[in-house]
Amino acid sequence: MTEITQRDGTWSFDGSEVRIVPGRGKGIHPLREALGEIVVPVRAVAGISFEPDRKGGRLRLRLRDGACPVLRAADGRLKDGADPYQLSVEKDRTGVAEFFVEEIRDVLLIEQVPTGPVDRFLLPGPSVPVAGGGGDGTASFDGGTVRLTWNWKAKEAKSSGGPVAFLVSEVTGVSWVPAIGLENGRLRFTLRGQWSSVSTPAESDPYSLDLWGLSKKEYTAVLVAAAVLVRLPEPAQASRKESAPPAPIEIPAPTHAPAEVTAPAPVPALTASASASADDHDVLLRRLRELGELHRAGVLTDDEFSTAKQAVLKRL
């Protein structure tokens, strides 16, 4: 188990899942608090990086496109502080962060996890019932019905019609845009059989919330969007298909005996029975997996594991 704990939160990795627990306190973004603990399977991870700076740095976990409903709903519009897949790292923990990155990268390589988009969500959506919003109203969703209720700030075009409720089966699309500068944001639903236009201002659209960005809590409206997204038919969730894993490398058999055979250099931690096929791609990947298991079991020290692993990686 590899773990890094900071004021910003705790990340742990057991070889198959990355567990993300947000920190507590004044500096934690309301969206991350509302999301709570997130468990990310390795097959949903596209990559990870550590970006050092003068104060320490930042861990960034990059997910495969379409794997997370919250990221799909946000469509790249989350600020760093609201992004649950980022962790601020203090200066005295940069070494741990770098080791954390190395451990995940090793598993991604060993398991040959594709980096391309997926055709279905690999993480669950936010728990229901869920509510969020601000601006001129609040959106709530119980897993079957979406409700929009208005506050005193709503325009008469909305408030005069009273609260709006519709089944998730009627929804054909949902989009969320945060307020940026002086530009208002919105949470907009499109319904089957209902006239709507993206040019209609959110302040006048009875199927939209008008988000003003006066409070970070308005970001929680994206949770409602994500919870609805995971319950839409798959074509509405994601249009791109999951990339197929790379084809195994085939080594053709020689048509004639070579004039001279040179034995490959031995690879640390490889058994004698495998040395004759040490240049085989699949064999090397199996050895990497074995090394990782031995390291996690405490059979190999950190230095022994690092030396053996680098020797194998050079032959890939």
Q: Do 242 and 119 form a contact (C-beta atoms < 8 A)?
A: yes
Kindly report the three-state secondary structure assignment for every residue of 4-72. Answer: EEECCEEEEECCCEEEEEECCCCCCCHHHHHHCCEEEEHHHEEEEEEEEECCEEEEEEEECCCCCHHHH
pLDDT in tens, 224-252: 999 999 999 864 554 333 334 444 433 34
Residue for token digits 């019905």? 145
Q: What is the pLDDT of residue 154?
A: 95
Residue 291: band (very low, low, confident or very high) from pLDDT cuts 50, 70, 90: confident
Cβ–Cβ under 8 Å, residues 105 and 233? no
Averaged pLDDT for residues 258-274: 41
pLDDT at 122 over 60: yes
- How many other CB atoms are found less than 10 A from the CB of residue 71? 22
Q: How far apart are CA 209 and CA 64, in angstroms?
A: 29
Query: Is pLDDT of 64 > 70?
Result: yes
Nearest to 46 by CA among 121, 117, 99, 101: 117
Mean pLDDT of 199-204: 87
pLDDT exceeding 90 applies to what percent of the chain?
Answer: 64
- Residue 76 in tokens: 């790249």
